[in-house]
Structure 1
Amino acid sequence: MLITNPSNRRYITGFTGSAGYALITQNKAIFITDFRYIQQAKTQAPSFEIVQHSGSIVDAVKEQLINFEVHNLGFEKDDVTYSLFKKFEESFSGVKLVPLSQVIESLRIVKDEEEIKLIKKATEIADQAFSHILNVIKPGIKEVDVSLELEFKMRELGAQGASFEIIVASGFRSALPHGIASEKVIETGDFVTIDFGAIYNGYVSDITRTVVVGKASEKQKEIYNIVLEAQLNGVNKIRAGMTGKEADALTRDIIARYGYAEYFGHGTGHGIGLDVHEAPTVSHKGETVLKPGMLVTVEPGIYIPEFGGVRIEDDLLITETGNEILTKSTKDLIIID
């Protein structure tokens, strides 16, 4: 099997650099990279034979296939582009290419103790950064400045950086589920939705909180409390043995009961690990059965165009007896005067 996906490559080899393919046969484990990463690969991937390529990495793979008389080669069809696939076809003469999906991802879905430890540290950093940013948010500050301060604080606390482009969406923009921080100035009366996370030793956290700047209107309180009720129902009841679809219904049904189903258009959550979005899926399409050691988010929301929106998100570790909420930041409605 040829592993090209960066996160899968890291998971299998331990290599944290940005270039290289892993080739695994019945008898050999080979890691192919260029001059820049040879010493790093030898240190981080000691179980692999390290091969340096100076020309095309595809040609280097071809040479190894010939050396080890490989006739069938599995490749990651969800990662390989069409143009790269055509190069494989042209170069790997006599080799049958077998498209594979979610092979390594199925191994990654349940985390071991060390992975859980790293994710817990990433959530701790995010929680500390959220506490800090509450002292920064005020009328007159731009969304992008809040985003910048959040990332700076997370790095100061030991993160490699933000786990994705930080969402800071205020006022009418809070109705955008993925409202990346903009030049908009935060104003009195705004909802401010902040969705962010930290990367710690390759593993991520993902948290969302929504606050109000100034006095909250009755409508804002109503929307917030509905989302909070749905979110609490999810985090209190999600457990091993449920499918992602069943877990999704824990939040979705409450929002629907209040008449806001059309304003909750995304899934309740997703897995986290090396990637900020990975298996399992917690949505109406989620068929995977949750098991102890899986990490999922629970993030229902209501988004009303021209009014604003609310999302509340925690990271959960599925356990033998239920779940452990890793993100600790308060979910009470915070009013920033």
Structure 2
Amino acid sequence: MASLRELRAALTAAGVDALWVSDPANVRALSGFSSGKDGKVLVTGDSATLYTDARYTVQAQEESRLPQVIARPPETYQDAAARVQGQRVGFEAEHLTVAGLEALRAHWNATLVPTRGLVESVRLVKSPEEVQAIRAAQAIADRVFEAVRPTIQAGVRELDVALALELGLRRAGAEVGFDVIVASGPRGAMPHGVASERVIEDGDLVTIDFGARVQGYHSDMTRTVAVGKPSEALCRVYRAVLEAETAAVAAIRPGVKAGDLDALARGILERHGLAEAFAHSLGHGVGLSIHEGPSLRAGSEDVLEPGMVVTVEPGAYLPGVGGVRIEDLVLVTESGHEVLSRAPKEQL
């Protein structure tokens, strides 16, 4: 769970007295309440309160470490109004709707201040319990991939592969973390090519990107697999991406700047003539959200710390030809790193 002590220090630095939390992942991080989309959290200098409605009375009591107010708007705002009277109250500018902001203005005698990334900043470093949940999610994904890999053959639809992965995750007791990407042949040039009706053909490379969710925490892994014998040109692209991915993972340790990792992988692909084919950042943090900080992108000033969990996922995408992405989930440790994703990578 995110630290309220650290969050209050972040509020002070941002020049606000309190924070109205509406992002579902941040609600869960602060309260433990798993239905964050139907909850809000108010954090002040001396208290933190979960607001939700009567559908969740029992669930909130069982899950939340915070005191709860069970009410619907406008009663929710009216209860909170007394707690924020005359204060500067931050709201999550990247999540709160205009209607939600207008409701706060109508009920509160407070100065409302847009903020960004306050809760996210204290979610960057995971607790041992959070790491364990991510580790468990990835272990399930590894087992499911191992079971499904032999079925990825010519004549099988991408949708059938995605369905097998989703069914395997659910049977193992996990949730499906995000829309499963299965992009074969020319569709491999689509970084977010979710599964389609396309039938996999002999000689295709097939990009599989999927993850499990356990206790709210995600895993994330990509493997590009060969069906039959791909062309030598595709194999060269695969080997270049694997080289970039391996080098970037090996460089992970505390104190490394995230932007430098992106530059390392990008430089390797550039030497292979694939600079323009790498169309996205190297990676991102993973936790209660599938995409969170730190950001492994060009120019990122984020610095890796022990307890961060990040992806490393260079790719090369060639329109009309195909594509390759290889992604590992990596824990930053005190002395270096630990690769959490164990599924083997193809050697082409």
Same fold, judged at TM 0.5 (above): yes
2:299 is aligned to: 285
1:126 is aligned to: 141
Do the aligned partners of 2:224 and 2:346 also contact (CA within 8 Å) in 1? no
- Structure 2 SS opposite 1:16: coil
Aligned equivalents of 1:39, 1:265: Cα separation in 2: 46
Do the aligned partners of 1:302 and 1:309 also contact (CA within 8 Å) in 2? yes
1:33 is aligned to: 52
Aligned equivalents of 1:215, 1:329: Cα separation in 2: 21
1:7 and 2:25 matched: yes
Aligned equivalents of 1:195, 1:235: Cα separation in 2: 18
Q: 2:27 is aligned with what amino acid?
A: R
Q: What's the CA shift string for 1:276-301, capped at 9, x where partnerless? A: 10000001031111111111100001
2:16 is aligned to: none
**5+ long unaligned stretches in structure 1:** none
Aligned equivalents of 1:217, 1:264: Cα separation in 2: 20
Aligned equivalents of 2:79, 2:215: Cα separation in 1: 33
Q: 1:218 is aligned with what amino acid?
A: E
Q: CA deviation at 1:67?
A: 5.4
Q: CA deviation at 1:163?
A: 0.9
Question: In percent, how many aligned pairs have the same letter?
Answer: 43
1:45 corresponds, among 61, 64, 73, to 64
Q: CA deviation at 1:166?
A: 0.4
Q: CA deviation at 1:70?
A: 4.9
Aligned equivalents of 1:169, 1:277: Cα separation in 2: 20
Do the aligned partners of 1:129 and 1:150 also contact (CA within 8 Å) in 2? yes
- Summarize the alignment of residues 1-150 of structure 1 with structure 2, pairs less than 5 Å apart: 1-17=19-35, 18-46=37-65, 48-54=66-72, 56=73, 58-66=74-82, 69-92=85-108, 94-150=109-165
Aligned equivalents of 1:276, 1:67: Cα separation in 2: 33
Structure 1 234/67 Cα, relative in aligned 2: closer, same or farther at 3 Å? closer
Aligned equivalents of 2:111, 2:307: Cα separation in 1: 36
Aligned equivalents of 1:68, 1:302: Cα separation in 2: 51
2:216 is aligned to: 202
- The alignment yields a C-alpha RMSD, in angstroms, of 1.4
Aligned equivalents of 1:175, 1:243: Cα separation in 2: 29
1:309 corresponds, among 320, 323, 335, to 323
1:165 and 2:179 matched: yes
Aligned equivalents of 2:99, 2:154: Cα separation in 1: 49
Q: 1:203 is aligned with what amino acid?
A: Y
